[in-house]
Amino acid sequence: MSKINKAVKYIKEYGFVKTAKAVKTKLCSGKAATAKKLKRIIKESYDHKEFEQLNTSLKISILMPVYNTDVDMLKCVMESVINGSYDNYELCIYDASDENGRDATKICEDYAGKFPKIKYLKGDNFGIAENTNRCFDISEGGYIALLDHDDVLHRDALCYVAMEACKGADFIYTDEVTFSGKITNVVSSDFKPDYSPYMLRCNNYICHFVCFSRELFVSCGKFNKKYDGSQDHELFLRLTDRAKKVCHIPKILYFWRVHKGSVSDSIEAKEYAITAGINGVRDFLASKNIDAEVESSEIYPTIYRIHYKITDEKVSVIILNHNHYEDLKRCLESIYRSTYKNYEIIILENNSNDQVLSDYYAELSQKENIKIITLNEPFNYSRFNNIAAGYAAGTQLLFLNNDIEAVSENWIQEMLMYSQRNDVGAVGAQLRYPDKTLQHCYLITGAGPHKVAIHAGLGLFEGDYGYLDRIGFVRDVSAVTGACLMVKKDIFDKIGGFDEKLSVAYNDVDICLKIRNEGYGIIYTPYARLIHYESGTRGRDSKDSNRRRLDAEAEYIKNKWKDKLIDRYYNANFSTDREGMLR
């Protein structure tokens, strides 16, 4: 679809004003502005004073399998290693080039003859996984780094990973950019979150640059040739799962070259990688006795959708309500349409004065799986939900606004898939406005006007999955909205429920931080889809009194959590004033 046709389509669906705002956002983050900021960010990563005190006793072995590599690219990658600032390394090359790669073999032999730190072995081609293992066989270093034969390594990359290794990290990864032709011709940037195990199952977001301990690599069984084409992803799943400390360095330390036939250029060029990726994720889950099916997502072949098997737990759906008969009825009817049936609904009624609603309550009270609790006191979201949770018979609590309408009939199952995992404490869904623009997928903490939290992807059109499509698949996050929040009841009770000092705002942020503080993860799933008509429970924060209350609650939560509000899943190179923009 051409840009003009796309614009016309959006104007028809969303109107001129929203389309104009979307275009403005795209222009503000355009290539010129981004390139300038990227250049600054890369420049900032050089010449750090910490390197002066760096312990260089740690030897890092860089594994680089070679196969018919372009001569200029091969020279470029080796020069980037040789000219690096960290001196205690070895570059271990296994060359599987055939007759078409004689020039590459000659270059490798020449460099190995000139530079003692380059170890070189020529042999047959056993595939990328086994060829990399052959590199390892000639290595000696206590840490192992992976380098593709056509990419470029940042001068200080080894210094940075050595610093983290000395602090106890046994699996380390960095940010990266892709480039085409000249290294200054940046095609895209990849600013990553900190270690995200559920996100990693869905997509190899780690990619480059990676360094890990020799002990960890050996204990996990090295590369498996069964997964050639997706061998890195499968290995990273095993390594990070067993690692003592996974560390992410939010700096661009790797330059991934895009050229014809490379995976970075088009995954369709290597369809076998898709099958290998699916098999790798599936087999990893099976090794952990996790019953799940894996398939390519609708977004991209190597972004995977995982269907975890669930058990038939009772879910207690908790809804606060004040008047808003139509909203409540629409919400309940959408729950009735759900294909998951083992649920109860608890409605906490607060100070309504609508006779139609009273009649509706009388009708609802005849249903076995609906409880109506009446509480006539000033609104306090946290207190009311805590009270309602006390009436719950379910082992899973699902806090739901009365102005929500479920779109996907299997939304409860999609949330249960993650809430039933032992290491997950809470799960959030994808909420859209009635016009289908995005209202919520997850919260970025430590951001926004109050530096407490903002909605990620706010206002995105349907079909726009945000930065690197990361709104379009399951991921680990710091917090999700209380408008649709599933929490295990035993965890909810353990942490003391919602903080009742946060009567209206940020109580969802607070409870997610409490859950994370207990060692549990927070998960966002885009496959639980709902419409949010917003503020049907209490109205908006536009009055002066509401704004003062919002300011006070923001100060309270900032004082309570301090640095723990910093979002580890939101890259430090991004602005906390405006989502997705480089600082």
* pLDDT score at 536: 41
pLDDT tops 70 at residue 21: no
Mean pLDDT (whole number) for 308-324: 98
pLDDT band of residue 24 (cuts 50, 70, 90) is very low
Same domain, 38 and 180: no
Does 159 share its domain with 228?
A: yes
Mean pLDDT of 546-572: 96
Q: How many domains does the chain have?
A: 3
Residues 239 and 329 in one domain: no
Q: What mean pLDDT value characterizes the chain?
A: 92
Residues 394 and 326 in one domain: yes
Mean pLDDT of 299-306: 96
Give the up-direction half-sphere exposure of residue 128: CA atoms within 13 A in the CB hemisphere: 16
Task: Dig out the tokens for 256 from the structure.
Answer: 């991934």
- Determine, yes or no, domain membership for 363: yes
- Given pLDDT bands bounded at 50, 70 and 90, which one contains residue 578? confident
Q: DSSP of 86-127, one letter per residue?
A: --SEEEEEEE---GGGHHHHHHHHHHHHH-TTEEEEE-----
12 against 474, higher pLDDT: 474
pLDDT digits (tens, 9 = 90+) for 261-277: 555 555 554 788 999 99
Report pTM. Answer: 0.92
The β-bridge relationship of strands 521-532 and 404-406 is antiparallel
The answer, yes or no, to whether residue 228 has pLDDT greater than 50, is: yes
- Range with lowest mean pLDDT among 361-375, 383-397, 536-550: 536-550
* pLDDT recorded at residue 83: 96
Residue 583 lies in a domain: no
Q: Residue 10 sits in which domain range?
A: 3-42
On whether residue 571 sits in a domain, the answer given is no
How far is CA 436 from each of CA 17, 402, 530, rounded to the nearest angstrom?
15, 18, 10
Q: Could you give the 3-state DSSP secondary structure of residue 531?
A: strand
pLDDT at 306 over 70: yes
N- to C-terminal Cα separation, the chain: 32
Mean pLDDT along residues 61-87: 97
Q: Is 108's pLDDT higher than 70?
A: yes
Whether residue 321 sits in one domain with residue 228: no
What is the band of 13 on the pLDDT scale with cuts at 50, 70, 90? low
For residue 19, what pLDDT band results from cuts at 50, 70 and 90? low
Confidence of residue 461 (pLDDT cuts 50, 70, 90): very high
Alpha carbon distance 104, 278 (integer Å): 33
Q: Are residues 457 and 501 in the same domain?
A: yes
Claim to verify: residue 329 and residue 250 sit in the same structural domain: no
Asked whether the predicted pLDDT for residue 28 surpasses 50, the reply is no
Query: Residue 547's domain is classified under what CATH number?
Result: 3.90.550.10
Lowest mean pLDDT among 253-267, 413-427, 545-559: 253-267
Q: Say whether both 35 and 52 belong to one domain.
A: no
Residue 442 pLDDT greater than 70, yes or no:
yes
User: Considering only CA atoms, which of 244, 92, 85 is closest in space to residue 172?
Assistant: 244
**Is 575 part of any domain?**
no
- Determine the average pLDDT of the residues in 198-209: 98
Confidence of residue 42 (pLDDT cuts 50, 70, 90): confident
Q: Is the pLDDT of residue 515 over 80?
A: yes
- What sign has the CA pseudo-torsion 236, 241, 243, 244? positive
> Which percentage of the chain shows pLDDT scores above 90?
83
Confidence at residue 270, expressed as pLDDT on a 0 to 100 scale: 74
397 lies in the same domain as 468: yes
Q: Does some domain include residue 310?
A: no
Residue 30 has pLDDT above 50, yes or no: no
Picking from 262, 297, 328, the residue at the C-terminal end of a domain is: 262
pLDDT at 493: 98
Tell whether 290 is covered by a domain: no
pLDDT in tens, 337-359: 999 999 999 999 999 999 999 99
pLDDT above 80 (res 116):
yes
Give the per-residue pLDDT at 55: 86
Residue 11 has pLDDT above 90, yes or no: no
User: Are both 95 and 184 inside the same structural domain?
Assistant: yes
